[in-house]
Amino acid sequence: MTKRTDQISIIDYLTDPQLLGLTVSEPQETLLRAGFGLPPGSKSQREIYCLCTGRESWPKHDFPEITIIAGARAGKDSRILCPIISYEAALGNHEKYLTKGERAVFPLVAQDQRGTRIAFGYLKSHFEDSPLLKSMLEDEPYANEIRLKNRVSIMCFPCTQSSLRGWSMPGGGMDELGFWRLEGSVDSDAEVQASIRRGMIGFENTRLIKISSPYMRSGVLYDDFKNHFGQDSPDVLVWRAASVFMNPSLTESRLERERRLDPQRFAREYEAEFAEDLESFLPTAWVEQAIVPGQHSARDDRV
């Protein structure tokens, strides 16, 4: 690798053997190129972009927010979210906006504790497996934090974390946020997003990445889809794609078995379709949390 670190693109970062050394599918590369305002690598990438965003032409700028709605095993964590977070933390030059003694934080907030561990595992391997990135570590990674010499930290939390307010955040990640309302509070997705946006206000170039398989037709994920998919929005790029399209290594025969077993869940989990049957009622988990055992209304007592 002969390029200086300030010349390393997100594509170089993922694929260079001295950095992450990952392989990416053409749709995954297309998403990264478009999100970072890089030119397409081929004519087919222009077509992929239009198909997955509902837009008509390749963007001329990068995007401060990218929302990826994709099926299971599409590489949302390993090829998109975690590489972008470590790239921005290590090579984003965000430290120049910090005051003396200040540290920037890239929070990665996941659906639950298990999701937090998975994401942190990817991020930790980026800095431990690459000699170049390892030299940027301030010390050994902690249980949920990676501290870099440039005064930038990566921290991972489940969506039950009460508040992220008060930190300087050049960006962040929201992992599987379509399911947060089943794990955290009813408005945990909106509150975490508001906290990260508030922390980004002092930085010129910011990057908030939101990824999830779709679920209910409500919440931040669905709002982004409704308001920005197919729209020429300069603020939010929404990308939607099926699992096998993003990850061609998945076999059609194996996916077909999943389709036969549960067609409705298959559409949601692998074809990135929002659930039609979940928009008009509350999830059972919410109802159960609102029930107080042994309590009866006055009307019940009269019956």
Rounded to an integer, the average pLDDT of 211-224 is: 94
Q: 294 vs 256, which has greater pLDDT?
A: 256
pLDDT score, position 17: 97
Instruction: Tell me the pTM.
Output: 0.88
pLDDT score, position 205: 94
Give the Cα separation of 60 and 66 in Å (integer): 15
* Domain 5-302 part of CATH 3.30.1370.140: no
Which range has the top average pLDDT, 111-115, 163-167, 199-203, 272-276? 199-203
CB 174 within 8 A of CB 189: yes
Q: 250 vs 154, which has greater pLDDT?
A: 154
**SS3 helix, strand, coil % of the chain, rounded to 5?**
45, 15, 40
Give percent of the chain above pLDDT 70. Answer: 86
pLDDT tens readout for residues 44-56: 999 999 999 999 9
Exposed/middle/buried for residue 299 (C-beta within 10 Å: 0-12, 13-18, 19+)? exposed
Give the Cα separation of 64 and 2 in Å (integer): 29
Is the per-residue pLDDT at 228 higher than 50?
yes
Angle at the Cα of 215 from the Cα atoms of 209 and 216, rounded to 5 degrees: 110
Task: Break the chain into its structural domains and give their ranges.
Answer: 5-302
Give the Cα separation of 303 and 292 in Å (integer): 19
Q: Return the H-helix or E-strand segment holding 283.
A: none
pLDDT class of 280 with cuts at 50, 70, 90: very low
pLDDT score, position 181: 75
Eight-state DSSP code of residue 94: G
Is the per-residue pLDDT at 282 higher than 90?
no
Is the per-residue pLDDT at 184 higher than 80?
no
Record the tokens describing residue 143, joined without a space. 């249980």
Eight-state DSSP code of residue 259: H
C-alpha to C-alpha distances, 281 to 75, 218, 301, nearest whole angstrom:
31, 11, 27
pLDDT class of 294 with cuts at 50, 70, 90: low
DSSP for 126-166, written as a single string:
HHHH-HHHHTTBSSS--SSEEEBTTSEEEEEEETT----TT
pLDDT score, position 185: 67
Is the per-residue pLDDT at 132 higher than 80?
yes
Lowest mean pLDDT among 75-79, 162-166, 251-255, 276-280: 276-280
Which among 51, 55, 14, 18 has a CA at the least distance from the CA of 33?
A: 14
pLDDT class of 4 with cuts at 50, 70, 90: very low
pLDDT score, position 295: 66
Rounded to an integer, the average pLDDT of 112-140 is: 96
Q: 251 vs 86, which has greater pLDDT?
A: 86
